[in-house]
Amino acid sequence: AGSLAKWADAPEVVIFEGRAQSEHCTRTDIRISLSPATCNLLNSRAKSRHFCTGMPVAEIESRLLKRLRRVDPRAAPIFGRPISDPAELASEGFDCVLWAGGRRSLDDDVRERLRCGLRLSESARVLVFQFKDLEAGGSVHSDLAHAACQASKWASFKVLLRPGVAGVCDGWLWLFGLPPDAVAVRPPPDLGPAATFQEAVARVVDEASAGADMLLAAAEIFQQRIRSAECTARWVDAAFWSSDRSVCELDAGDGGGVPLVVLGDALCGKPFYTGTTLNSHLKLAAAMMDEVNWMQNGSPMSRAHFASHERRYQDEIRRVAQFERRGTAAPVSPQATAPSAARPPPEARDAEDDLDASPPSSPPMPRPSLPPAPSEKPPSPESQIRAQLGGYSNAAKSCTRLQPLPLPPTCAISAAAL
């Protein structure tokens, strides 16, 4: 068994979790459809073979937390610390904040201040049914949408069925194309599951509204075909959503700025019936982690460190037409607003600056050019240039290592409202 050691100039990472520790790793009733690429990514990064499609959320959280404690036993998340404004973390002295929260984890006024407003597109109301304990003769293998349209005389109904989870339910039914006149109501508290689809609808719809009779007629068809003994219903807003930008800047209070990177559902997402958003979230985060230099190099972290990540995100939300971002101007590139990234202050310059100074007084003697051997081809000009560039690159790296480094940066990761 090998051992792990943390580099001296690696950043200190502090994880804040909005939920209490007792609520962590408890969502066993929600399963995630992970793509093969995501499974390979998680298994590779976590040194595991257990990540596969259909895993419960609780198991995904548990295995990632186990790997974190294996890498750094002291890096335990701080549970029960809900954060409503990332500016709180900037005021605590963090050099960078990664906000991996839920879709509504940032209030509208906070987003307006950070210029990362949320745009909704293709929004629709959906009724989601969860049913259990099918009676004899009950089946989901029929054209429920066509039957519901005929019975209710509302031609816009669409139905999507997904299989359930053993021990939780037998399945979920999503009803789309709802009548716009149907009025949603809050169900009475502390009520158990309804006995039928009709009873479940009656709890969440105002029966006096114009579209209520159409929903009840559709629910009657579902009960006749599926014949479940338990059923619940709830309203869901299904939409595509995207933030104006991913990389923002927080005011540190001392005239400087702290980069804030919005990730996860706080950044973008799509309706649940189109598939899980976790696949794209993990892909985007993994690429960012690989391309950013997290080691201390003497200069403060800025938005420019995440310029490639921002460009990748802007390209993605313009590639997917449903985000309705095509034809809109992308935010200003971080390089244009991050002067510290172009050249650090004098006290923070390292040996790399010495390469731009005047040449040394005693340059090395040039090597005499020898004629090539008869059996060898003379080197091409391109190969000579590459060799020279490689020599300068190695010299720059070796000089940088000789310089004393300041304290490593600190990075806060907020997982509030995941």
- Give tens-digit pLDDT for 58-81: 999 999 999 988 888 877 899 999
Asked whether the predicted pLDDT for residue 270 surpasses 60, the reply is: yes
Distance CA 143, CA 283 (A): 37
Asked whether the predicted pLDDT for residue 222 surpasses 50, the reply is: yes
> Would you say the pTM of this structure is higher than 0.75?
no
Distance CA 49, CA 52 (A): 8
Task: Specify the 3-state DSSP secondary structure of 280.
Answer: helix
Q: Which residues pair with 97 in a beta bridge?
A: 260, 412
Report residue 260 CA to chain centroid gap.
14
Asked if 179 and 215 touch (Cβ cutoff 8 Å), the reply is yes
Is the CA virtual torsion 289, 292, 293, 298 positive or negative? negative
Distance CA 16, CA 41 (A): 24
Asked if 179 and 211 touch (Cβ cutoff 8 Å), the reply is yes
Q: Tell me the per-residue pLDDT of 227-258, one tens digit each, with 9 for 90 and over.
A: 999 999 999 988 999 999 999 999 887 777 89
Predicted local confidence at residue 71, as pLDDT: 84
Predicted local confidence at residue 361, as pLDDT: 45
Distance CA 240, CA 344 (A): 40
Position 197 confidence tier, pLDDT thresholds 50, 70, 90: very high
Asked whether the predicted pLDDT for residue 359 surpasses 50, the reply is: no
